[in-house]
Structure 1
């Protein structure tokens, strides 16, 4: 099969012909019809993920068609249209038994723990608990765009933040994760304040439902600006970028007993950010993480999509070829353009 492969970290990947995957007894092989280009892939490429073994094929936001099925798989057959959470569970550990596959003790992640979806085919483990059936009406590019950013945002806003109609929500960073969170919070009936340094991204945030925006380069204090807009601070705040500054601002702009949800990855030099702990204590704030979403929770999200409340296709910025994905991957840290980039030509 054709795949994007890198032999060492931070060096240009290449298009190569490599051996096709074969399914594990409990897994399947998926023919990749679309796969997103995510900043998490960039983190892996530069060497921030200790699970990656070289040479490596990136890619974890995928949708496609089941090509081959392992002998122990019961729920899936060749030809099924599927997607998959970027964190897969083993089905046997205490976390999986409690329904929290997204923090499985022996989790797997395509594109990190094993070769991913910047390829014509990808192997998926423990298919019976990790695959998600796609409605016939959902195109593959949109399905792939759900894989990491949208589902993580859904869990952050709905399951972790427990956002409700009428609440104020701040979203720091208007990339794929942030724009997804804005759309989801707006669909629930929350009032969203979007924060970014790009007017282009803030304009898209307004189109997706943000009732107010803050350009962080044009105010002296982001937290104070958000607090003034919301007359006391937000109920739920998300750091959708993953930077010490956005993390600090997200906690600082909460009202009393508010919830901060960390969605953007904090890796390497950013892994131990300063936080306003005195405010966390005095105002009884909650600090939560959001790391993927279980396969069985997709039904709630897909129902909102089918009802028209969510339209993730609006988040797709452009579609590209596998060859073009190399430049897209290497330039992810430049935050160029808006929306989600999806590979649809293999």
Structure 2
């Protein structure tokens, strides 16, 4: 099969013929219809995240935001048959540890990140496999478009899990989203769907315009203000600060700005992961967090059982992940798109749908 193959950190990736995955008894093999191209792919290509154990080796196939049609089913798989349309979270669970049993498969004790390890290659390829399919694979409603589902990917789904299940967003709350790349725009759209008043923060006027289209009520252009947290607070009642602030980028500046834009009792949601400049460590105002009782939450992917909530909101038009898809490309174009994500110029989510 044809696939995009990693050649080493910051080396050009190539499209090559590679062996098709062989699914085990608990797995399914899926013919790829679409796969989102994520900033996490850029992180891995660049060589970030060694500090959390992500060390891709040459020969790996990236791609962790897939949708496709089942073409082969392992002997032990009960829930799926050839011809079914499916997606899956990028962080595949074992299905049996206490987190998986509690509905939190996204933080499985034996989680396997698709497309980042050699024993679970990704979906920048004509075919991909899904381990522990009865637990990890998710059936798709007949009416959904594969590009829209690829747009859910890890970014939209992670934003949904974080805002709907990790922090407390209620109608009328002020939610400040710092960083309006793919995951930030997803967070804007989700927060709006949950009834929040949304403040979008970014350097790019083009991205802020897109954020307004997706539901942002107010915007802060970083280069046009002297103090980003204070600019955010001025939009809230009595300048009290945001109820929820999202760092959707993962650099020290956005993390600190998000925390500082909160009011007392506010909740910080960390979606973005750091680059080699931070190395996984960011300084925070701990004493203020204590005296103001501000809370810090992380969000990592989505458990399989939460997809139905998204599909129900898609069916009523409250959520439209396809609106955040910026472009569709062929497999040959994937390497250039991945490398270009480091320029921070992509507005939305690119998706590969040509295999």
Q: Is the 8 A contact 2:202 2:208 kept in 1?
A: yes
1:124 equivalent in structure 2? 130
Between the aligned partners of 2:215 and 2:202, the Cα distance in structure 1 is 15
1:259 equivalent in structure 2? 267
SS at match of 2:32: strand
SS at match of 1:4: strand
C-alpha displacement at 1:122, in angstroms? 0.6
Between the aligned partners of 1:94 and 1:156, the Cα distance in structure 2 is 20
C-alpha displacement at 1:47, in angstroms? 1.7
- Where does structure 1 lack aligned partners over 5 or more consecutive residues? none
Match of 2:111 among 97, 107, 112: 107
2:190 equivalent in structure 1? 184
SS at match of 1:269: coil
- 1:1-346 → structure 2 map (5 Å cutoff): 1-49=1-49, 50-51=53-54, 52-113=56-117, 114-230=120-236, 231-270=239-278, 271-346=280-355
SS at match of 1:227: helix
Q: Is the 8 A contact 2:212 2:218 kept in 1?
A: yes
C-alpha displacement at 1:342, in angstroms? 0.3
Q: Which moved more, 1:110-119 or 1:120-129?
A: 110-119
Normalised to the residue count of structure 2, the TM-score between the two structures is 0.96
C-alpha displacement at 1:7, in angstroms? 2.4
Between the aligned partners of 1:15 and 1:183, the Cα distance in structure 2 is 34
Between the aligned partners of 1:10 and 1:28, the Cα distance in structure 2 is 32
Between the aligned partners of 1:147 and 1:331, the Cα distance in structure 2 is 19
Residues 310-335 of structure 1, C-alpha deviations (whole Å, 9 max, x = no match)? 11111110000000111001111111
Q: Which moved more, 1:336-345 or 1:165-174?
A: 336-345
- Where does structure 2 lack aligned partners over 5 or more consecutive residues? none
Between the aligned partners of 1:267 and 1:296, the Cα distance in structure 2 is 30
Between the aligned partners of 1:29 and 1:336, the Cα distance in structure 2 is 34
Q: Is the 8 A contact 2:268 2:295 kept in 1?
A: yes
Residues 289-316 of structure 1, C-alpha deviations (whole Å, 9 max, x = no match)? 0000111111111101101111111111
Normalised to the residue count of structure 1, the TM-score between the two structures is 0.98
C-alpha displacement at 1:39, in angstroms? 0.4
C-alpha displacement at 1:243, in angstroms? 0.7
C-alpha displacement at 1:279, in angstroms? 1.2
C-alpha displacement at 1:269, in angstroms? 2.8
Q: Which moved more, 1:2-11 or 1:165-174?
A: 2-11
C-alpha displacement at 1:256, in angstroms? 0.7
SS at match of 2:256: helix
Between the aligned partners of 1:337 and 1:290, the Cα distance in structure 2 is 23
Between the aligned partners of 1:97 and 1:337, the Cα distance in structure 2 is 38
Q: Is the 8 A contact 1:22 1:68 kept in 2?
A: no
Residues 95-115 of structure 1, C-alpha deviations (whole Å, 9 max, x = no match)? 212221001111112111221
Q: Is the 8 A contact 1:25 1:73 kept in 2?
A: yes
Between the aligned partners of 2:77 and 2:275, the Cα distance in structure 1 is 36
SS at match of 2:149: helix
Q: Which moved more, 1:104-113 or 1:198-207?
A: 104-113
SS at match of 1:342: strand
Aligned residues between the structures? 346
